Amino acid sequence: MLPRLILSLAQPDPSATLAKLRETPALQAVLNGAEPGGVSPLGGVSQGAWAFSAAVLAHSAKGRPVLVVCPTGKLQEQLQQELETWLPALAKRPAKPPLFFPAWDVLPHEARLPHADVLSERLETLIHLAKRRKPSANSTAPGPVIVTTGVGLLQRTFSPAELKKRFRSFKLGQRIDPLDLVEWLEDQ
């Protein structure tokens, strides 16, 4: 006699599904290498499951940042989009989207600045990390997930102290001398 099959239209419980998936050999290999400051290569995981594995790793990291380093910019964009789907799907509450940290699109010897979008995305990531508080010991929320390439990771950037020194905020209604603002912007 065949076992009875029950179909349900109820929303699945992501935490129960995640618990079952954590028992699979591929995810066990990723999670076992996920010590603080450790590197978890995804060599035994098919490319189609990289974003899912990174999302599971982010939820297991208990508030610590997770850095996803991609071999190419095209794969970085693909994983970014897939993580935007997986991170909220695995979370019990709304999850923050992954941070995109692109490589500069110019060579060091070129006499031009990187594209404004590249500068903006890099600065947005750095500001988010600089403002970040340390997670509590019993934190269950995933930490920030940063998606970059090896080249983007190796390129120089501001230290947190230097970034804070160069940051200036304004309040609605605040009066600012235009010449002082122009002078400050030129200094930056």
Task: Report whether 65 contacts 130 (CB < 8 A).
Answer: no
Provide CB contacts within 8 A for 26, sequence distance 6+.
44, 45, 49, 53
Q: Per-residue DSSP letters for 93-161?
A: SPPPPPEEEPPPSS-TTSSSPPPHHHHHHHHHHHHHHHHPPPPPTT--S---EEEEEHHHHHS----HH
- What is the model's pTM? 0.76
3-state SS assignment for residue 74: helix
From first to last of its 188 residues, the chain has per-residue pLDDT tens of: 667 777 767 766 666 666 777 777 767 766 666 666 677 777 777 788 888 888 888 887 777 888 999 999 999 999 999 999 888 887 767 778 999 999 988 877 888 888 889 989 998 999 888 888 776 666 666 788 999 999 999 988 888 888 888 878 888 998 888 898 888 888 87
- The Cα 58–Cα 62 span in angstroms is 7
3-state SS assignment for residue 67: strand
Task: Report whether 149 contacts 69 (CB < 8 A).
Answer: yes
Torsion of CA 114, 116, 118, 121, to 10 degrees: 150
- The Cα 67–Cα 149 span in angstroms is 10
Compute the radius of gyration of the chain from its Cα atoms.
Answer: 21
